[in-house]
Amino acid sequence: MKVLVINCGSSSIKYQLLDPDTESVLVSGLVERIGEPRGELINKAYPGTDREAVTTLEQPIPDHDAGMRLVVDLITDPEKGVISHKGEIDAIGHRVVHGGERFSAPVVVDEDVVEYIESCIPLAPLHNPGHVAGIRVAMELFPDAPQVTVFDTAFHQTIPPHAYMYALPYELYEELRIRRYGFHGTSHKYVAGKLAECLDRPLSELNLITVHLGNGGSITAVEKGRSVDTTMGLTPLEGLVMGTRSGDVDPAICAFLARNKGMSIEEIDTMLNKESGLKGLCGMNDMRDIHAAIAEGDERAEIALGVQTYRNRKYIGAFMAVLGCVDAIVFTAGIGENDDVVRRESLKGLECLGVNIDEKANAHRAKEPMRISAVDSRVAVWVIPTNEELAIARETRDILNK
């Protein structure tokens, strides 16, 4: 089976064509700067194999429609392509960030579904418009392939009201559905499932804390395989300190800035989402640059690392209290998979709660799941590479096989 997984941002299209059964990836790529004078496309055929062939294009790409057509031309190109015609694609899986309260599982797309995703645009103004554009273009370009949407929010629909309600006037929930939704659900679910496989135990028996640390970051409390709380909220801004996002702040800061600095709502929103987090604290949002700066004696970089890892630790501790008994903590995504210092600092001082890292194991880098806790650690600690594309392709296959 060949599934094309598409993740459309407001000005980008990330794509991968893969077989969910064999896990082999035929092609992966990224279209960026859609709508800007100079668009870019990087296409990798047979990535990670000895046949890998990279094609790059630079040209104006006015909209998602033009971007998708370029992708289809490339993957069906007689010389550089990986399939002979687009009819070979069996299904399309779309990543959608916000599925509101309606979707707790993937769904086969029809007009009603697209309209509902559109109605969630106020909840995810940076993400859902790009998804809608991508779905509409794909429906036109691949009229015979079933289209499935897989939602970042779906895994978290099992969170109970005491964890998803904000203590605001109740009418705001009734009128505008203001509540905690949570994100990165596809990744949290994937690494939880993978860990159960590694331990050879049913996921429905496990209590886990899954820690996804990439450009964006979130931590989820997984009780007997189901999400019961997570750090992100109505939007992906709440919770952890991220690359450019503040995570938790005193909400009164917004009114304070409006009154004392004359900032508009738009300016405050941009500041919290794009100019805060690690970047706000030290001017850098890539953890590799921050480590390099710390090695050169940059104090603000050190503060940024400290603020980020302290917040991680605080939430891991909070979720240990939420779950009561924890079988394992799992780190994943760019920072979680690669950064032993962040992992160590995020778990510092948790020994009396049963968390003991094996320093040697933690220093390892692996492309496969690895256990990094000491043999006598009551709570196991693992690093599990996430694979959201594979998870989306599998979910797409599974719902179509039902």
* Residues recognised as catalytic: 152
196 binding ligand ADP? (CB under 6 A): no
Residue closer to ligand ADP, measured from CB, 269 or 340? 340
134 binding ligand ADP? (CB under 6 A): no
Residue closer to ligand ADP, measured from CB, 142 or 155? 155
Report how far residue 332's alpha carbon sits from residue 310's, in angstroms, rounded to the nearest whole number.
Answer: 18
Of 68-76, 160-168, 264-272, 335-343, which segment contacts ligand ADP by CB under 6 A?
335-343
334 binding ligand ADP? (CB under 6 A): yes
Report how far residue 256's alpha carbon sits from residue 253's, in angstroms, rounded to the nearest whole number.
Answer: 5
339 binding ligand ADP? (CB under 6 A): yes
Report in angstroms how near the CB of residue 315 gets to ligand ADP at its nearest.
17
Q: Candidates 120, 240, 335, 391: give the one binding ligand ADP (CB under 6 A).
A: 335
Buried/exposed code over 226-258 (b: 16+ C-beta within 10 A; e: otherwise): bbbbbbbbbbbbbbbbbbbbbbeeeeeebeebe
284 binding ligand ADP? (CB under 6 A): no
**How big is the chain by its Cα radius of gyration, in Å?**
21
Q: Candidates 102, 338, 361, 369: give the one binding ligand ADP (CB under 6 A).
A: 338
Of 28-36, 196-204, 283-291, 308-316, which segment contacts ligand ADP by CB under 6 A?
283-291
Say what the alpha-carbon torsion angle 294, 300, 304, 307 is, to the nearest 10 degrees.
120
100 binding ligand ADP? (CB under 6 A): no
Say what the alpha-carbon torsion angle 158, 154, 390, 308 is, to the nearest 10 degrees.
-80
Of 9-17, 142-150, 265-273, 280-288, which segment contacts ligand ADP by CB under 6 A?
280-288
Which 218-247 residues touch ligand ADP, going by CB under 6 A?
243
**Total residues at interface with ligand ADP (CB under 6 A):** 12
Which 75-94 residues touch ligand ADP, going by CB under 6 A?
none
Of 44-52, 120-128, 212-220, 368-376, which segment contacts ligand ADP by CB under 6 A?
212-220
Report how far residue 119's alpha carbon sits from residue 121's, in angstroms, rounded to the nearest whole number.
Answer: 5
Q: Candidates 201, 288, 348, 378: give the one binding ligand ADP (CB under 6 A).
A: 288
Integer distance in angstroms from the first to the last C-alpha of the chain?
15
Q: Are 128 and 118 in contact (CB under 8 A)?
A: yes
Residue with tokens 């599990």: 384
Residue closer to ligand ADP, measured from CB, 100 or 334? 334
Report in angstroms how near the CB of residue 338 gets to ligand ADP at its nearest.
3
Report how far residue 31's alpha carbon sits from residue 15's, in angstroms, rounded to the nearest whole number.
Answer: 9
Residue closer to ligand ADP, measured from CB, 309 or 377? 309
Residue closer to ligand ADP, measured from CB, 45 or 333? 333
Residue closer to ligand ADP, measured from CB, 187 or 396? 187
Q: Candidates 55, 104, 215, 356: give the one binding ligand ADP (CB under 6 A).
A: 215
Q: Which of 157, 150, 179, 158 lies closest to 167, judged by CA?
A: 179
Report in angstroms how near the CB of residue 142 gets to ligand ADP at its nearest.
25
SS3 content of the chain, % helix, strand, coil (to 5): 40, 20, 40
What the block records as the tokens of 121 is 């645009």
What the block records as the tokens of 261 is 């600095």
Q: Are 26 and 17 in contact (CB under 8 A)?
A: yes
Per the rule left: phi > 0, alpha: psi between -120 and 50, beta: everything else, 335 is alpha
Report the interface residues with ligand ADP, using CB under 6 A.
214-216, 243, 286-288, 333-335, 338-339
